[in-house]
Amino acid sequence: MDRRENLKLLLTGTVATGFLLSTGCSPEDTKVAEKITGTGLYGRTTDEIAVDKKLKAETFFNEKEKNMVSILADIIIPKDETSGSATESGVPDFIEFMMKDYPKFQLPMRGGLMWLENLSLATFEKSFLEITAEQRIQLIDKIAYPDTAEEEMKFGVKFFNLMRNLTCTGFFTSQMGIKDIGYVGNRPNQWDGVPDEVLKKFNLSYDQKTLDQCLKIEDQQKLAQWDEKGNLIG
């Protein structure tokens, strides 16, 4: 794939990944686009590939911990009318990876899960995995609201904040989550300003000076030329 081909693909908008591979391109184009995007790598150096491989080969969570993480993740981000749940988007695997990638997470996460398990045993005389969904919510409600949680729940609050952060970020950086949030960039585009209806909604507009001096999208491929004073003349 040389740069020119690459450029052509970009400008015609056929380079895309996943759900973006769509209309208007020949099977050949699609094949080329898949070649560009489908390597499974993302510009890693040899050292980085080795690091990722090593981390992926290790296991941090034991079976019980993994189950707890999955249950908590789906309490934090459940399925709704717009998208699936945290586990459906791959959040537990992401959290497992982050434990190894950023070892400072390990103690608060492992200790937090144990703390929650102890709370479950103390409250219901049963493991967190064995109590009912309602009982789990009873426990979570004690640690989910930092501003009003009781003093002795503080460690649990800290743990749940970590769990919430990792779950939310894991979900909204997944394919499912990006679609959910409505991010429509990361593709060749022609930025020509804020859409009119949006400007109107916020009671804003581009002044004439801005419109005059800013890029006219249709001129992009025209070779730029200046007079000796620096005025753009072509």
Contact 200, 120 (CB under 8 A): no
Give the residue with the Cβ less far from another protein, 12 or 127: 12
Q: Which residues contact 185 (CB under 8 A, 6 or more apart)?
A: none
Annotate 51-96 with DSSP letters as a single string: HHHHHHH---S-HHHHHHHHHHHHHHS---SSS--TGGGTHHHHHH
State how far the Cα of 112 lies from the Cα of 128, in Å rounded to an integer: 13
CB of 148 to another protein, least distance (A): 7
Residue closer to another protein (CB basis): 50 or 129: 50
Q: How far is the CB of 123 from another protein (least distance, A)?
A: 18
Question: Min. distance of Cβ 63 from another protein in angstroms?
Answer: 21
Tell me how far, at minimum, the Cβ of 34 lies from another protein, in Å: 12
Asked whether the beta carbons of 35 and 14 are under 8 A apart, the reply is no
Decide whether 1 or 107 has the Cβ nearer to another protein.
1
Tell me the one-letter amino acid at 18.
G
Task: Classify 43 as helix, strand or coil.
Answer: coil
Which residue, 22 or 165, is less far from another protein as judged by CB? 165
In the numeric block, which tokens belong to residue 194? 């804020």
Q: Which is nearer to another protein, 150 or 219 (CB)?
A: 219
Count CB-CB contacts under 10 A for residue 108: 16
Q: Least CB distance from residue 40 to another protein, whole Å?
A: 8
Q: Closest separation between CB of residue 107 and another protein, Å? A: 17
Identity of the residue, 9 or 65, whose beta carbon is nearer to another protein in the bound complex: 9
Q: What are phi and psi of 232, to 5 degrees?
A: -70, 120
Spatial contact of 185 and 97, defined as CB atoms under 8 Å apart: no
Q: What is residue 232's DSSP assignment?
A: B
Cα 46 → chain centroid: 25
The residue (of 27 and 104) whose beta carbon lies closer to another protein is: 104
Alpha carbon distance 20, 2 (integer Å): 22
The CB-of-27 to another protein minimum distance in angstroms stands at 20
